[in-house]
Each structure stands twice: as C-alpha cells, then as structure tokens.
Amino acid sequence: MATLKRSELAISHLLRGGVIFSGSVLVIGWVLELTQGSSQSQTSAEAGVRSLNSLVAGLHAMSAQAWISMGLLLLISLPILRVALTFLIFLQNRDRLFSVLTLYVLLLLCASSLLGKAL
C-alpha cells in the first residue's frame, strides 16, 4: 500500500510540477509578447518556429513566439512523461504484464508524436 501511495505521489508531483513549469514558460512568452508590442507579433509560420534549432534560437533571442511554443510543447509532453514514469514504476515493482503494456503505450505515444499523426 505504501508503494502505491508513493507511486501516486510521484505521478502527481510530475504533473503538478510540469503544469507549473510549462505555465511559467507560457507567461514569459506572453509578457514578452506584451513588451515587444504588436509590430513584433507574428504567426508561428512567419516566426519560423518549425524545428528544434529554430525554437532554441528563438528562445535565446527572447522571441515571444518561441517561448509560447516551448510552453505548449512542454504542456503537450506531460502525458508522455506520465506514461514513462508509470512504466518505470511498474518496472521497479517487477510487474511484467503492466510494464509491457505501458511500454507499448509509451512507444505508440512517442511514435505518433514524432510522426505527427495518430497510430
């Protein structure tokens, strides 16, 4: 029972911390958007936030669009991180059936995220 409680706490801390962190990144982006003015405002296609390299370059350049994109990317990645943590918990508890099932779900999530379509 104590192991279950620790597992639930670890998952809740991951989700809560992830939402707070991604929300903070989003707020930074919104503040940058407000301080840079509407003349600097661009859509993501115009801003060139299409690859990881352009995202990192935009973050270094303090681009509002890059910070907002990063915040959304972090928020979207939380369910994948939750499944990854659940997989590690099942491995630690030596639960083979749920480890295999969770790994399958994790691989599907990762593949669909990388391919950009549902599997």
Q: What pLDDT digit, counting tens, does each position of 12-33 carry?
A: 999 999 999 999 999 999 999 9
DSSP string, 66-96: HHHHHHHHHHHHHHHHHHHHHHHHHHHTT-H
Q: Which of residues 117 and 66 earns the better pLDDT score?
A: 66
**Interatomic CA distance for residues 53 and 64, integer angstroms:** 16
Mean pLDDT estimate for the chain: 85
pLDDT score of 118 more than 80: no
**Interatomic CA distance for residues 90 and 3, integer angstroms:** 11
**Interatomic CA distance for residues 75 and 71, integer angstroms:** 6
pTM for this model (two decimals): 0.77
